[in-house]
Amino acid sequence: MNIPTPLFIKLIILSVFLFIIGSFAQGQGQGQEQDKDTSKNTSNEKTEKIEKKQTQKQQKKASDIWGKDYFPNIELTTHNGEKVKFFDDLIKGKVVAINFIFTSCQDICPAETARLKKVADILGDRMGKDIFFYSISIDPDRDTPEVLKNYAKKFNIGAGWTFLTGDKEEIRLLRKKLGLYITDISEAERTLSDHNVNLIIGNQALGRWVKRSPFENPYVIANQMGNWLQNWKQVRKKRNRYENAPALRQISEGEMKFRNMCTACHVISGGIAKIPSTKQVGPDLFGVVERRDPAWLTRWLIEPDKMLAEKDPIAIALKEKYQVVMPNLSLSPKNTENIIQYIANETQRLKTVAEKRNKTTSKNILTK
Nearer to ligand HEC, 270 or 283 (CB): 283
Q: Which is nearer to ligand HEC, 27 or 327 (CB)?
A: 327
Residue (324 or 366) nearer to ligand HEC, CB: 324
Q: Taking the complex as a whole, how short is the minimal distance between the CB of residue 237 and ligand HEC, in angstroms? A: 47
Q: How far apart are the first and last CA of the chain?
A: 107
84 or 314, CB closer to ligand HEC?
314
Give, as one character, the DSSP assignment of residue 127.
B
Least separation in angstroms between CB 292 and ligand HEC: 5
Helices (H) and strands (E) in the chain, counts: 12, 7
Among candidates 277, 306, 310, 307, which has minimal Cα distance to 292? Answer: 307
Residue 366 CB, nearest approach to ligand HEC (Å): 37
Distance CA 184, CA 175 (A): 14
CB of 344 to ligand HEC, least distance (A): 11
State in angstroms the smallest separation of the CB of 282 from ligand HEC: 3
Judged by the rule CB under 6 A, the positions of this chain that interact with ligand HEC are 261-262, 264-266, 281-283, 285, 288, 292, 297, 300-301, 318-319, 322, 324-327, 329, 339
Which CB sits closer to ligand HEC, 86 or 300?
Answer: 300
Shortest separation between residue 339's beta carbon and ligand HEC, angstroms: 5
Q: Least distance from C-beta 253 to ligand HEC, angstroms?
A: 12
Nearest distance in Å: CB 266, ligand HEC = 5
Q: In terms of CB distance, is 200 or 326 closer to ligand HEC?
A: 326
| Cα gap 104→113, rounded to integer Å | 13
Q: How far is the CB of 148 from ligand HEC (least distance, A)?
A: 57
Beta bridge partners of 101: 137
Q: Least distance from C-beta 350 to ligand HEC, angstroms?
A: 16
By C-beta, is 170 or 253 nearer to ligand HEC? 253
The Cα angle at residue 168 between residues 166 and 169, in degrees rounded to 5: 120
User: Measured from the CB atom, is 234 or 263 closer to ligand HEC?
Assistant: 263
Which is nearest to 230 in space by CA: 202, 253, 251? 202
Query: What is the three-class DSSP state of 88?
Result: helix
Give the strand pairing for 75-78 and 131-137: unpaired
Given the DSSP bridges, would you call strands 208-212 and 199-203 parallel, antiparallel or unpaired? antiparallel
Q: Residue 286 is which amino acid?
A: F
Q: Which helix (H) or strand (E) holds 85?
A: strand 83-85
Q: Nearer Cβ to ligand HEC, position 199 or 343?
A: 343
Of 108 and 314, which has the nearer Cβ to ligand HEC?
Answer: 314
Separation CA 222–CA 32 (nearest Å)? 48
**CA 38 to the chain's CA centroid:** 46
For 57-66, the CB contacts below 8 A with 24+ separation are: 59/205, 59/206, 59/207, 61/207, 62/206, 62/207, 62/208, 63/204, 63/205, 63/206, 63/207, 64/207, 65/207, 66/202, 66/204, 66/207, 66/209
